[in-house]
């Protein structure tokens, strides 16, 4: 329990929405206060403060908090917070307001909240631009291009630039949730919670019963086992129950919440060496260790967008790591595939059923090793002379097809480790992207120091260069795979090539050229006579 990151900045759930007698009393007081018309953005922020969605915030940010959030993603007191939450008002509305004054915040005739003023501060056009550059990553070498496009096409930038001349800071008392309770009756405060699954999704029945008992008591009783990331998803509960559910999960079941938002999502692993003879490393242990090591990244959304780990023990990819994760660790081997020639002949002779008998109920005809194994090899590294099966290891891409077809005859090698692929994502709308091979082979021994070094180099680069809501694979595409090689100190290799070059020119950096740019041409030509 000591390693768990405290929720809501460690300050508990802060709900600013009044109820009952307190609500009625504040409404009466609000009717006599100065009224300030607010934007739709401010209305949305007030609703989030009301239901506790912005905990630990209890109002709009002062200048020190706003500046600190833009620069460091923390409030002035060090509490993590990724985006500014400010209330813009006109110069006319700001006139005559003093610290301690109370005002009513109104949206289209409805009083949404009251605010006790703490500070008013001017927002110049330069201030707005500065906020956009820091929050939406509009500074740096691409700044000029950013400002050509963003004012018209980036919704966040457009909203910031449209803000009025002043910001008003202060604590709020929220009086309304707008039209949402009536528009969506019974769904107000309807929260979904993710629960971290154990590595490889091993459960006992008691755990599942206890989990369902908690959710029957505290929530809707509806679950999703599992989401695409692997989490247990608990669908639907109200705000007052959130802390109760979190307490019961951590104290009674000893299980943490899953990752959600622009952070590290809950890592996921296949069964690995617990059941699978093809697992090239201990996927469960690596998944557990990295989950523990990166608890802070799981619960504090500091990334440009979400980041997923997945651990496949072999290229069969039972958790789809190379297609569905930003950082995929896929088991592989360096030496020869082990061949039992007698077992190969047994498959050819019909003694053993191919595919471990998976399709034995259908009459596919006599097993044809040439058509079903050799000709299906993607790298054409196999040959069959009628009595002996040969594999050219240097050309083998470890696709597992031959092993899966003849599991009693073929087996993975002994020099085992993993490949690392980076940048996969599987969204429906803007198109899927497979992971790109970064590290062809790496050892997978605890405490996994080498793998952590690669992860943290990628994070340092991505958090500096990634745009808001940009996956690491998209940053790679925008800034080039070559840049990823540079930041991870990885030497380029033929394994990294996905397609032949179309550009005949190769550009070198000065430090890559012996002697740099300033060379004695006469000496050079002595060594390179025409």
pLDDT at position 428: 64
- Cα Rg of the chain, angstroms: 29
pLDDT at position 7: 61
What CA dihedral angle connects 327, 329, 335 and 337, to 10 degrees? -120
Of 474, 392, 381, nearest to 427 by C-alpha is 474
458 part of a folded domain: yes
Question: Contact 436/421 with Cβ under 8 angstroms?
Answer: yes
Give the span between the Cα atoms of 66 and 75, in whole angstroms: 7
pLDDT at position 9: 65
**345 and 480 inside one domain:** no
**113 and 30 inside one domain:** yes
Asked whether the predicted pLDDT for residue 234 surpasses 70, the reply is yes
**246 and 343 inside one domain:** no
Of 340, 317, 346, 313, nearest to 410 by C-alpha is 340
CATH number of the domain bearing residue 227 = 3.30.70.2500
Residues 6+ apart with CB under 8 A from 240: none
**Backbone phi and psi for residue 509, each to the nearest 5 degrees, phi listed first:** -90, 155
Which contiguous run of DSSP H or E holds residue 118?
strand 110-122
**Looking at residues 491-513, what average pLDDT do you find?**
80
- The DSSP code for 487 is H
Question: Contact 379/392 with Cβ under 8 angstroms?
Answer: no
How many angstroms separate the Cα of 4 from the Cα of each of 8, 232, 255, 293, 530? Answer: 12, 18, 10, 11, 70
Place of tokens 């109200």: 238
CATH number of the domain bearing residue 364 = 3.30.70.20
Opening angle at CA 32, ends 28 and 33, nearest 5: 115
Give the span between the Cα atoms of 494 and 384, in whole angstroms: 28
Question: Contact 136/156 with Cβ under 8 angstroms?
Answer: yes
pLDDT at position 140: 67
**211 and 321 inside one domain:** no
**79 and 107 inside one domain:** yes
505 part of a folded domain: yes
**204 and 82 inside one domain:** no
Q: pLDDT for 93-105, tens place per residue?
A: 999 899 999 999 9
477 part of a folded domain: yes
522 part of a folded domain: no
Asked whether the predicted pLDDT for residue 355 surpasses 60, the reply is yes
**200 and 346 inside one domain:** no
368 part of a folded domain: yes
**Looking at residues 297-302, what average pLDDT do you find?**
85
**Looking at residues 319-338, what average pLDDT do you find?**
95
Beta strands 268-269; 309-312: pairing state: parallel
pLDDT at position 8: 62
> The pTM is what?
0.69
Beta bridge partners of 119: 169
Residues 6+ apart with CB under 8 A from 452: 290, 293
How many angstroms separate the Cα of 81 from the Cα of each of 347, 368, 472? Answer: 61, 62, 21
pLDDT at position 516: 81
Beta bridge partners of 259: none
Give the span between the Cα atoms of 480 and 10, in whole angstroms: 39
Question: Contact 230/319 with Cβ under 8 angstroms?
Answer: yes
483 part of a folded domain: yes
406 part of a folded domain: yes
* Domain with 460 in it: 283-332+418-510
Residues 6+ apart with CB under 8 A from 511: none
**41 and 174 inside one domain:** yes
**372 and 437 inside one domain:** no
Asked whether the predicted pLDDT for residue 289 surpasses 90, the reply is yes
Residue ending a domain, among 394, 411, 428, is: 411
The length of the chain, given as a count of residues: 530
Residues 6+ apart with CB under 8 A from 298: 5, 256, 258, 259, 263, 264, 265, 266, 291
**Looking at residues 366-392, what average pLDDT do you find?**
95
- The DSSP code for 495 is G
Domain count for the chain, please give it: 4
Of 120, 112, 134, nearest to 165 by C-alpha is 120
Mark 481-505 as b/e (b = at least 16 C-beta within 10 Å). Answer: beebeeebebeeeeebeeeeeeeee
Phi-psi region of 111 (alpha: psi -120 to 50; beta: other; left: phi over 0): beta
Beta strands 327-333; 338-339: pairing state: unpaired
**Backbone phi and psi for residue 315, each to the nearest 5 degrees, phi listed first:** -65, -5
Opening angle at CA 444, ends 195 and 486, nearest 5: 95
Q: pLDDT for 130-160, tens place per residue?
A: 999 888 876 666 678 888 888 988 888 999 9
Asked whether the predicted pLDDT for residue 3 surpasses 60, the reply is no
**54 and 88 inside one domain:** yes
Per the structure block, which two tokens stand in for 529? 């006579």
CATH number of the domain bearing residue 440 = 3.30.413.10
Q: pLDDT for 430-471, tens place per residue?
A: 678 899 999 999 999 999 999 999 999 999 999 999 988 899
Asked whether the predicted pLDDT for residue 2 surpasses 50, the reply is no
Q: Cis before residue 161, ω within 30 degrees of 0?
A: no
More confident: 508 or 234: 234
CATH number of the domain bearing residue 83 = 3.10.400.10
Of 163, 178, 423, nearest to 308 by C-alpha is 423
Per the structure block, which two tokens stand in for 481? 């795979």
Residue ending a domain, among 365, 393, 411, is: 411
Place of tokens 């070559």: 482
Dmax (CA) of the chain: 97
Which DSSP string corresponds to 85-114? Answer: ---EE-HHHHTT--TT-EEEEEETTEEEEE
**490 and 348 inside one domain:** no
Give the span between the Cα atoms of 374 and 388, in whole angstroms: 12
101 part of a folded domain: yes
**355 and 501 inside one domain:** no
pLDDT at position 260: 83
Q: Report the share of the chain in percent with pLDDT over 90.
A: 65
């Amino acid at each position: 329990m000591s390693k768990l990151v405290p929720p809501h900045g460690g300050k508990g759930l802060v709900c600013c929405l009044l109820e009952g007698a307190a609500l009625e009393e504040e409404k009466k007081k609000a009717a006599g206060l100065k009224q300030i018309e607010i934007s739709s953005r401010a209305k949305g922020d007030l609703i989030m403060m009301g239901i506790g969605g912005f905990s630990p915030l209890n109002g709009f940010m002062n200048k020190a908090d706003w500046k600190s959030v833009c620069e460091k993603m923390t409030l002035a007191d060090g509490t993590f917070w990724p985006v500014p939450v400010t209330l813009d008002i006109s110069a006319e509305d700001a006139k005559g307001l003093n610290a301690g004054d109370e005002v009513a915040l109104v949206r289209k005739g409805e009083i949404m909240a009251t605010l006790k003023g703490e500070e008013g501060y001017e927002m110049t056009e330069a201030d707005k631009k500065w906020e956009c550059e820091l929050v939406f990553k509009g500074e740096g070498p691409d700044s000029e291009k950013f400002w050509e496009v963003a004012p018209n096409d980036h919704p966040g930038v457009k909203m910031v630039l449209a803000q009025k001349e002043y910001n008003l800071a202060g604590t709020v008392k929220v009086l309304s949730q707008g039209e949402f309770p009536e528009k969506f009756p019974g769904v107000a405060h309807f929260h979904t919670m993710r629960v971290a699954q154990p590595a490889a999704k091993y459960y006992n029945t008691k755990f599942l019963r206890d989990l369902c008992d908690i959710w029957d008591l505290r929530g809707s009783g509806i679950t999703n086992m599992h989401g695409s990331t692997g989490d247990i998803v608990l669908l639907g509960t109200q705000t007052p129950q959130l802390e109760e559910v979190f307490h019961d999960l951590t104290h009674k079941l000893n299980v943490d919440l899953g990752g959600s938002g622009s952070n590290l999502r809950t890592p996921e692993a296949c069964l690995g060496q617990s059941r699978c003879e093809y697992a090239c490393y201990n996927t469960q242990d690596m998944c557990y260790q990295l989950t523990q090591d990166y608890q802070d990244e799981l619960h504090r959304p500091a990334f440009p967008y979400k980041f997923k780990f997945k651990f496949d023990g072999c290229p069969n990819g039972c958790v789809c790591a190379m297609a569905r994760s930003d950082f995929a660790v896929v088991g592989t081997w360096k030496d020869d595939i082990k061949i039992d020639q007698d077992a190969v002949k047994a498959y050819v002779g019909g003694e053993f059923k191919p595919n471990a008998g998976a399709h034995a109920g259908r009459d596919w005809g006599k097993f044809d090793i040439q058509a079903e194994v050799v000709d299906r090899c993607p790298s054409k590294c196999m040959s069959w002379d009628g009595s002996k099966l040969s594999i050219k290891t240097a050309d083998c891409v470890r696709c597992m097809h031959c092993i899966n077809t003849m599991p009693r005859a073929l087996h993975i090698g002994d020099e085992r480790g993993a490949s690392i692929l980076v940048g996969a994502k599987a969204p429906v709308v803007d198109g899927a992207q497979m992971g790109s091979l970064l590290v062809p082979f790496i050892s997978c021994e605890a405490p996994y120091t080498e793998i952590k070094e690669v992860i943290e180099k990628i994070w340092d680069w991505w958090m500096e260069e990634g745009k808001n809501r940009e996956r690491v694979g998209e940053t790679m595409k925008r800034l080039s795979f070559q840049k990823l090689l540079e930041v991870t100190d990885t030497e380029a290799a033929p394994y990294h090539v996905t397609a032949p070059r179309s550009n005949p020119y190769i550009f070198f950096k000065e430090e890559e050229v012996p002697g740099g740019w300033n060379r004695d041409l006469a000496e050079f030509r002595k060594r390179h006579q025409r």
